[in-house]
Amino acid sequence: MITAFFKKTDPFRFRYLACLAVLFLVINMALRFSLQIAFASALPFSTSMVPGLVKGFLNDCAALVFVLLPPATLLLLPTGRFLRRPAGIIYALLIIFIFSSIFIFAAAAEYFFWGEFNSRFNFIAVDYLIYTTEVIRNIVESYPLARLFMAVFILAGASTALLWKKLRGGWPRISAHPANHSPGGLAGRLVTLGGFYALAVLVFCFFAPFTGDRNRFWNEYAKNGVYELFSAYLHNQLDYTAFYKTMDKQEALSLAQSEITDTGGAFEPLREGTLLRLVAARIPEKKPNVIIVIMESMGHKEIGEHTPNLNRLAESGLSFTNMQSTGTRTVRGLEAVMLSVPPTPGNSIVRRPDNDKLFSLGTLFRDRGYDRDFIYGGYGYFDNMNAFFAGNGYSVTDRLGFAAQNKTFANAWGQCDEDLFSESLSRADASFSAGRPFNQVLLTTSNHRPFTYPDGKIDMAPGSRIAAIHYADYAIGNFMREAKEKPWFGNTVFVFVGDHPASIAGKTEIPANAYGIVCLMYGPNFFRPEKVAALCSQIDIAPTLLASLGWEYVSQFFGANARELPARAGRAWISTYQLLGFRTNDRLVILKPDKSVEITSLDQASVEAGDNSAAGEDQALVARAIASYQCAYDLFTAGGMKESLVLAFRP
């Protein structure tokens, strides 16, 4: 029966697909060994690699089901008569060449992706496929594409020749003998194709990638990039209540309130599931201009010998030495600074629907008559940034709207930082001339691949992150020198904060000590030299700034005044795309999308939440973590973060 089935469907077609399958599996295994050679410190050759290879092979086999669907469809639809002709042979060879090229190119792309993000393909790669203009130009300027494509085509050609040699013996030959013709009936081919698609549906519904290693690098090593890419595309938003551990909403709100210290204990009754309260001023109100500079990839490890200008500003102002980013993407930094909210799982609020008219830092500037500008050196449609800021009342200017005199140098990612700061100065002058205070939110681009900048600015060749950091710092120094000459400078506060570190990588799924970022507030007439050593978060920036200015306001921010956090009682929210972390000085709680919770002692081994060995204080920490993340998700999805709701409250 089986023999009859194979005869009906042409055995050579199965051999053809088997050859492609072997090629895919071999390329993926070769990629893993290449990653080990290139990144030996993270992936050493040791016994630890054996489980990774076994799990990796199983993951590759699952991905193979989807990978073979297009070539199987293309190969099983034509008749045997067509494939016996010269045109059919060329057609079949072309399929091998195209898919060989795709397999090899995907492996090369994963290799470079790992070098940038210490990960196999994930939701960042999905974004890169969506925002093709910047990404393609960025890749062209960052990598030797001509040589890469040449190598891909050479390897694909060699693979095609090798597979063709293996297939020739099984290829149907033209013969006068009907017995030598493989019939390949339509019914048999359609049944076979239906079997492929049915198997793909089963894998899609029931397969979960094999991982399970406590070392994040080995988990990534075992994954299949193609599978992870499509998985990230399908799961770019997560329902917190469906995937994460939850608690009673009333209890969650009460615990979330306990994290907030700016009310003196006086909260509005828990009406409509909110955290509404009145933040009272403790000093006379000041009304300076405020320029917030969100710096691309400026982690705390970057500040030092590479940043003399930032160093001077930090020494002269309010410096946060233990500030943590909430995530690994720029949109997370924007979300945290503007909304003072812990990260929601999946996409940032900046990229979600219905993210307009939210209560934000900009709401309070608007109510005091400030001009508000978001200025970005790149294309603001990237990551939905223009729509987010415009929807929340800011005038938006990206590289397309820069004045001609403020366009001196650009690369794939955007105008250089000097151009950004020139645009900022121009708009600040206009607001000052009109007699209006101003709030600007600037987002830099130069410390981003391809790491290029104008010639003659610093004594380093472009192309490396270190050089880009030097240039970014140079541009900040130049900006401050020019700003000091302006009549509005004495009444201006500057906030410099990193969006996220350059690379958040470690052996654990959430490396607790990798999220530190640069953060300082500078204004000679507003801040004396002071260092805040407490562990704090980007979501604390808005409350800290407003408290320092003596503003009284109705709030629904989650953050607190970092200057009032006890040195050993700080906390921070840190996350990846799916994992939600809440850390203190000595503990890290991780909420996972399978409703599990892990508690990690930052100087001991991990213990599972609920284990008898977990101390009571650990259980309390877990409750605090769940409460904050659950409340943030509930408030946003229920519309509780809309500014109309907040401003309607009058105590």
- Residue-wise pLDDT for 542-581, tens only, equals 999 999 999 999 899 999 999 999 888 899 999 987 889 9
Tell me: pLDDT of 212 over 50: yes
User: Considering only 28-42, 164-178, 513-527, which range has the smallest mean pLDDT?
Assistant: 164-178
The mean pLDDT value for 141-166 works out to 85
| pLDDT band, very low/low/confident/very high, at 529 (cuts 50, 70, 90) | very high
Q: Give yes or no for a contact between 605 and 225, defined as CB atoms under 8 angstroms apart.
A: no
274 and 227 within one domain: no
Q: Is residue 362 part of a domain?
A: yes
The answer, yes or no, to whether residue 10 has pLDDT greater than 80, is no
- Residue 79 structural domain: 2-234
Please check whether residue 200 lies inside any domain of the structure: yes
Q: Are residues 397 and 428 in the same domain?
A: yes
- Convert the pLDDT of each residue in 111-128 to its tens digit: 888 887 778 887 666 666
- Joined together, the tokens standing for residue 252 give 């969650």
Which of 128-142, 272-286, 289-303 is predicted with the least confidence, judged by mean pLDDT? Answer: 128-142
Q: What residues contact residue 190 under an 8 Å CB cut-off, 6+ apart? A: 76
Going by pLDDT thresholds of 50, 70 and 90, the confidence category of residue 505 is low
For 492, the 3-state DSSP assignment is strand
**Do residue 289 and residue 365 come from a single domain?**
yes
Is the same domain home to 187 and 284?
A: no
> Residue 283: pLDDT above 90?
yes
What confidence score (pLDDT) does residue 559 get? 94
Q: What is the pLDDT of residue 14?
A: 81
Q: Are both 275 and 203 inside the same structural domain? A: no
Q: Which residue has the tokens 């005038």?
A: 395
Task: Say if residue 342's pLDDT is above 60.
Answer: yes
Residue 520 domain-assigned (yes or no): yes
Tally of domains within the chain: 2
The answer on 228 and 255 residing in a single domain is no
The answer on pLDDT for 457 being more than 80 is yes
Q: Confirm whether 475 is domain-assigned.
A: yes
Average pLDDT, the chain: 86
pLDDT category at 130 given cuts 50, 70, 90 is low
Strand-pairing partners, residue 574, are 581
Q: How far apart are the first and last CA of the chain?
A: 81
To the nearest 10°, report the CA torsion of 250, 600, 579, 38: 170
Q: What is the pLDDT of residue 570?
A: 92
Instruction: Read off the CATH number of the domain in which 626 is found.
Output: 3.40.720.10
Higher pLDDT, 417 or 218: 417
Predicted pLDDT of residue 646: 80
Convert the pLDDT of each residue in 28-77 to its tens digit.
Answer: 999 999 999 999 988 999 888 999 999 999 999 999 999 999 998 888 88
The whole-angstrom separation of Cα 517 and Cα 56 is 34
pLDDT at 175 over 90: no
Please check whether residues 408 and 553 belong to one and the same domain: yes
- Interatomic CA distance for residues 124 and 182, integer angstroms: 46
Neighbours of 169 (CB within 10 A): 9
Q: Which residue has the tokens 């570190």?
A: 501
- The residues, ordered by sequence, that sit 6+ positions from 343 with a Cβ below 8 Å of its Cβ are 326, 327, 332, 335, 336, 573, 575, 580, 632
* Cα distance between residue 477 and residue 470, in whole Å: 11
| 443 close to 496: Cβ distance less than 8 angstroms | no
Query: pLDDT for 364-390, tens place per residue?
Result: 999 999 999 999 999 998 889 999 999
Per-residue confidence (pLDDT) for residue 239, from 0 to 100: 77
Inform me whether the pLDDT recorded for 638 exceeds 50.
Answer: yes
Does any domain span residue 353? yes
pLDDT band for 92, please (50, 70, 90 cuts).
confident
Q: How confident is the model at residue 9 (pLDDT cuts 50, 70, 90)?
A: low
Closest CA to 299 of 465, 522, 464: 465
343 and 387 fall within a common domain: yes
Band (272; pLDDT cuts 50, 70, 90): low
Length of the chain: 651
184 pLDDT band (50/70/90 cuts)?
Answer: low
Task: Give the Cα-Cα-Cα angle 396, 310, 382 (nearest 5 degrees).
Answer: 30
Contact (CB, 8 A) for 649 and 268: yes
pLDDT at res. 2: 39
DSSP 305-336: TT-HHHHHHHHHSEEETTEE-SSSSHHHHHHH
Distances (CA, A) of 627 to 337, 342, 582, 613: 20, 11, 11, 23
Let me know whether 545 and 631 are in one domain: yes
Whether residue 396 lies inside any domain: the answer is: yes
Report residue 651's pLDDT band, with 50, 70 and 90 as the boundaries: low
For position 109, what pLDDT does the model report? 87
Q: For residue 197, which amino acid is it? A: Y
Question: Please, which pLDDT band fits residue 394 given cuts at 50, 70 and 90?
Answer: very high
Within-domain flag for 28:
yes
Question: Poorest-confidence range of 77-81, 183-187, 497-501?
Answer: 183-187
Same domain, 321 and 453: yes
Same domain, 214 and 310: no
Predicted local distance difference test score (pLDDT) of residue 615: 57
Comparing 462 with 15, which gets the higher pLDDT?
Answer: 462
Residue 183: pLDDT band with limits 50, 70, 90 = very low
Q: Is residue 243 part of a domain?
A: no
Tell me the average pLDDT across 245-263: 85
- Asked whether residue 508 falls in the same domain as residue 385, the answer is yes
